[in-house]
Structure 1
Amino acid sequence: MNELARPIAETDYPLLSVFWTMLWFFLWVLFLMLLFRIIADIFRDDRLSGWGKAGWTIFVIVLPFLGALVYLIARGKDMGERDLRASQKRDEQVRAYVREAAGTPGPTSTDELVRLAELRKHGDISEAEYQQAKTKVLA
């Protein structure tokens, strides 16, 4: 059988080799993502001085495996806390924007007058206090 007539499945690259190639490729991509995340965390940290940021960056770039391992051991817990704080801050900003955009109204003057009338009816406020608060609500 000549070379051109060979079936596609019958190649010189066995299935196990394909598996190992894919595994190494995904591990490489995972490691690159980890390095980018570490470098972003280095520059996000406000407590780290400029020299500290430069030192960690050089260490992670020159010796990537050792640098990433040492960074995760030395600063991994703080890295998670900074991510949590940043996430909470973004969440608060989104909620504030939604409240502002939606224009959530406060209690209306009608609701306020009904509440004042109930307070006067139960004797919690006097007639003079009721009239003063009513004038303030209607103004």
Structure 2
Amino acid sequence: MSFWENFWDIFWWFFTACVFFAYLFGVFAIIGDLFRDHKLNGWWKAVWILFLCFLPFVTLLVYLAARGDGMAERSVQRAGREQEAADSYIRRVSTGSPAEEISKAKALLDAGTISPEEFERIKSRVLV
């Protein structure tokens, strides 16, 4: 066997593996989207999964063509909810109570680190 015959065997093996993993990614993305979609009836979800089992490539392409826009919208909504939850958690953990924040700002004011205007700005921001 020559080097080029082995090279093309390796190339086709990698190409096949990439196509297979792309297919698996698509199937799991569709299954995740089906269960994330609360507007779709349970029977329709079962039909989509049944078709994914018996006509996988065709069903994958039809699903992406027919429901791709909704899939993207649900994904964006989910990402927004997750970002909002993470932001609220960070705010809750990183800041103390309003009284603690005002007392810290008062200590900075008394030490001369901040001006009275900055103290009032911090106080109004904390109390909002």
TM-score by length of 2: 0.72
SS of structure 2 residue aligned to 1:72: helix
1:22 aligns with 2:14: yes
Q: CA deviation at 1:93?
A: 0.2
Match of 2:102 in 1: 108
Q: CA deviation at 1:12?
A: 9.2
> Gaps spanning 5+ residues in structure 2: where?
110-115, 121-128
Q: CA RMSD in A?
A: 2.5
The one-letter code sitting in structure 2 at the alignment partner of 1:55 is: V
Q: Distance in 2 between matches of 1:82 and 1:12?
A: 47
Q: CA deviation at 1:105?
A: 5.0
Match of 1:123 in 2: none
Q: Distance in 2 between matches of 1:63 and 1:46?
A: 24
Match of 1:44 in 2: 36
1:68 aligns with 2:60: yes
Equivalent residues in 2 for 1:1-139 (5 A)?
13-104=5-96, 106=98, 108=102
TM-score by length of 1: 0.67
Compare 11-20 and 73-82 and name the one that shifted more: 11-20
The one-letter code sitting in structure 1 at the alignment partner of 2:16 is: W
Aligned length: 106
Match of 1:126 in 2: none
Match of 2:123 in 1: none
Compare 14-23 and 64-73 and name the one that shifted more: 14-23
Q: CA deviation at 1:108?
A: 2.6
Q: Which has the higher helix share?
A: 2
Detail structure 1 runs of 4+ shifted over 6 Å in the superposition. Answer: none
